[in-house]
Amino acid sequence: MNALKRILGIFWLLMGPAVLGFLIFEAVKKNSLPTSTSNDMLQWGIIIGIFVPIAIGLMIFGYYSMKGAYDLED
């Protein structure tokens, strides 16, 4: 189990920037539509602003996991 946690740590570490990248990609895509309004931009700005620190937290979690910080003693 400890080995699996360490391997998954890499996944969580990469998932943080992947989620952010996805949100930024979607925000750019939706805001470049001719029907988009300033309200859309504000909504996406809020969503990205909120999820940046959370994605960083997920990366730190992944890093700790990869380094064995969550390994259980036998």
Applying CB under 8 A, the residues found at the interface with other proteins are 1, 4-5, 8, 12, 30, 39, 42-43, 46-47, 50, 54, 57-58, 60-61, 64-65, 69-73
The smaller minimum CB distance to other proteins, of residues 14 and 42, is found at 42
The smaller minimum CB distance to other proteins, of residues 8 and 24, is found at 8
How many whole angstroms separate alpha carbon 39 and alpha carbon 45? Answer: 10
The smaller minimum CB distance to other proteins, of residues 34 and 72, is found at 72
The three-point CA angle 14-16-18 to 5° equals 70
Q: How far is the CB of 1 from other proteins (least distance, A)?
A: 7
Q: How far is the CB of 10 from other proteins (least distance, A)?
A: 14
